[in-house]
């Protein structure tokens, strides 16, 4: 006898939790589709030489390799320290780059794709860290060029996703890499040093302003007090409304050409968001956001739950200049975001914000006596024909037991036909939520159920 258990670092859900998780996945997917994104799925494994062109040191050490028994035996015989042929995807960005480069001539650009799949990373085993987790990505990829207008469409998608997920108030915060780089240039901070300074500023929340200022003025950086203060002041800029964002950007004044480009781009994005009717409480500029240094080149986004800042960013991304330079000579600029749903679900559940009350079964058709079995089957089929999700009790049990079963399973409605109902062509319905009970003719009974379920039937 083997003890049944899952490996560390994976999230496996009980059915009721899985239903809640699935509803979130569906909401995200349907929102992505509402904005005209097309589905893509890629294989879980990529060829190692294809997958590992873009990775840096740390990510590469986290990659999982896959080997069949045969390949494993062969590599052992050869005793070689060669890299196995197959590796599991560790994000959805590298597979997207490979996909777009591979199928470039079969795709229409701008190419709008969504991809919702699990990814794999050999993270240190730790509470809340996952070795397998869902990413829900959208990207718009241009060929040669991509209008900056797409930069503002992305927050509109984020807004609709989190509005529909209904997990509380949220703020989409953004910054612009050109504004950042231009600002550094203006202070005489160039090249490599920009990255080092940014890394320090990224630690503001953790280390506090005094510690960061001390580091910036210390041996490694040697900035003067005025420069350090300007950096810290810049990092503190956050808007509280649409007009405030415009004013704060204007108040930054003129800078290097790069700085001005970044500032004008943020203004254009703000104007477009307003035109799309995105409530202004939902977006803000936050000039401390950087999101790593080498990948993003334009706007960068983070999204936080207003009541749960400790969760950190629940949806991040940005604009990049060239998606797939390792695979194709074509220039493929793009903009995109990712939602790490496994981690988000975990955090929401920890915070008690996941509702696992409802089943995905709408109606339980009860069975009172064996003589009514064929009738219960027919009733179930009729209700399914009306779009309802129906479980049929296959064995007659006491009605109280069947109500209890439905209640525990989170099934809201029970439908039943005893001898009386069968002889006069009616159905008795019970709403376990309200306690309401009615006996109606068959067609009216189906209407009664679909009416009460509203849009929840598929």
Q: What residues numbered 67-106 form the site for a second copy, per CB under 8 A?
A: 67-72, 76, 81, 84-86, 88, 97-99, 101-103, 106
Q: Cis before residue 110, ω within 30 degrees of 0?
A: yes
Strands (E) in 193-252, as ranges, are: none
Structure-token pair, residue 411: 């099934």
CB of 46 to a second copy, least distance (A): 7
Q: How is 165-228 classified by DSSP, letter by letter?
A: HT-S-EEEEEEEHHHHHHHHHHTT--HHHHHHHHHHHHTHHHH-HHHHHHHHHSTTT---HHHH
Rg, Å, the chain Cα set? 28
Q: Which of residues 236-275 bind a second copy (CB under 8 A)?
A: 272, 275
Q: Which of residues 274-303 bind a second copy (CB under 8 A)?
A: 275-277
Q: Which of residues 157-186 bind a second copy (CB under 8 A)?
A: 160
Q: Which of residues 42-71 bind a second copy (CB under 8 A)?
A: 42-47, 49-50, 53, 60-71
Instruction: Answer yes or no: are the C-beta atoms of 445 and 385 closer than 8 Å.
Output: no
445 binds a second copy per the rule CB under 8 A: no
Q: Among residues 301, 345, 353, which one has the least CA distance to residue 134? A: 345
CB of 3 or CB of 206, closer to a second copy = 3
Q: Is 415 helix (H, G, I), strand (E, B) or coil?
A: strand
- Nearest 5 degrees, angle CA 180-CA 257-CA 202? 5
The residue within the footprint of a second copy, chosen from 166, 251, 374, 400 (CB under 8 A), is 374
221 binds a second copy per the rule CB under 8 A: no
Q: How many residues lie near a second copy (CB under 8 A)?
A: 107
The residue within the footprint of a second copy, chosen from 113, 176, 177, 178 (CB under 8 A), is 113
327 binds a second copy per the rule CB under 8 A: yes
Nearby residues of 361 by Cβ (< 8 Å), 6 or more positions away: 389, 390, 391, 409, 410, 411
Nearby residues of 229 by Cβ (< 8 Å), 6 or more positions away: 213
Structure-token pair, residue 241: 């409304």
The residue within the footprint of a second copy, chosen from 28, 388, 414, 427 (CB under 8 A), is 388
Instruction: Answer yes or no: are the C-beta atoms of 64 and 48 closer than 8 Å.
Output: no
Q: Which of residues 391-410 bind a second copy (CB under 8 A)?
A: 391-392, 394-395, 405, 408-409
Residue 8, number of CB atoms within 10 A of its CB:
11
CB of 405 to a second copy, least distance (A): 7
Q: Which of residues 184-213 bind a second copy (CB under 8 A)?
A: none
Q: What would the x/- binding string for a second copy be over residues 351 to 370, using CB under 8 A? A: --------xxx--x------
The residue within the footprint of a second copy, chosen from 24, 92, 154, 156 (CB under 8 A), is 156
Q: What would the x/- binding string for a second copy be over residues 114 to 133, using CB under 8 A? A: ----x-x-x---------x-
């Amino acid at each position: 006898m083997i003890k049944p258990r899952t490996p560390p670092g994976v999230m496996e859900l009980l059915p009721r939790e899985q239903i809640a998780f699935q509803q979130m996945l569906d909401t995200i997917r349907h929102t992505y589709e509402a904005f005209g994104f097309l589905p893509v799925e890629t294989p879980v494994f990529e060829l190692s030489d294809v997958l590992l062109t873009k990775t840096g040191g740390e990510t590469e050490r986290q990659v999982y390799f896959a080997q069949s028994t045969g390949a494993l035996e062969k590599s052992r015989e050869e005793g070689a320290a060669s890299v196995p042929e197959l590796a599991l995807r560790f994000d959805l960005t590298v597979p997207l780059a490979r996909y777009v480069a591979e199928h470039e001539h079969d795709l229409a650009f701008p190419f709008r794709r969504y991809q919702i799949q699990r990814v794999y990373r050999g993270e240190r085993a730790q509470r809340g860290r996952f070795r397998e987790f869902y990413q829900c990505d959208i990207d718009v990829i241009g060929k040669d060029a991509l209008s900056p207008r797409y930069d503002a469409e992305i927050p509109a998608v984020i807004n609709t996703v989190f509005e529909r997920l209904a997990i509380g108030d949220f703020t989409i915060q953004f910054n612009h890499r050109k504004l950042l780089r231009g600002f550094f240039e203006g202070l005489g901070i160039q090249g490599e040093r920009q990255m080092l300074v940014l890394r320090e500023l990224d630690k503001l929340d953790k280390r506090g302003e005094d510690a960061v200022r001390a580091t910036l003025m210390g041996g490694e950086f040697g900035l003067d007090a005025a420069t350090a203060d300007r950096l810290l002041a810049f990092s503190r800029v956050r808007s509280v409304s649409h007009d405030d964002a415009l004013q704060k950007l204007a108040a930054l004044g003129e800078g290097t050409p790069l700085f001005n480009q970044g500032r004008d781009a943020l203004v254009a994005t703000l104007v477009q968001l307003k035109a799309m009717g995105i409530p202004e409480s939902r977006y803000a500029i936050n000039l401390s956001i950087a999101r790593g240094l080498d990948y993003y080149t334009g706007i960068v986004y983070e999204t936080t739950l207003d009541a749960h800042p400790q969760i950190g960013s629940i949806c991040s991304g940005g604009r990049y200049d060239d998606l797939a330079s390792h695979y194709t000579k074509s220039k493929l600029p793009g903009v995109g975001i990712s939602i790490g749903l496994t981690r988000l679900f975990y955090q929401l559940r920890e915070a008690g914000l996941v509702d696992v009350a409802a089943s995905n079964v709408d109606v339980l058709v009860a069975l009172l006596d064996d003589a009514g079995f064929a009738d219960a089957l027919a009733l179930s089929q009729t209700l399914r024909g009306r779009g309802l999700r129906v479980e049929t009790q296959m064995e007659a049990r006491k009605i109280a037991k069947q109500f209890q079963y439905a209640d525990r399973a989170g099934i809201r409605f029970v439908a039943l036909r005893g001898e009386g109902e069968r002889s006069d062509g009616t159905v008795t319905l019970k709403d376990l939520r309200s306690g309401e009970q009615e006996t109606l003719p068959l067609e009216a009974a189906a209407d009664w159920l679909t009416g009460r379920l509203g849009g929840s039937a598929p």
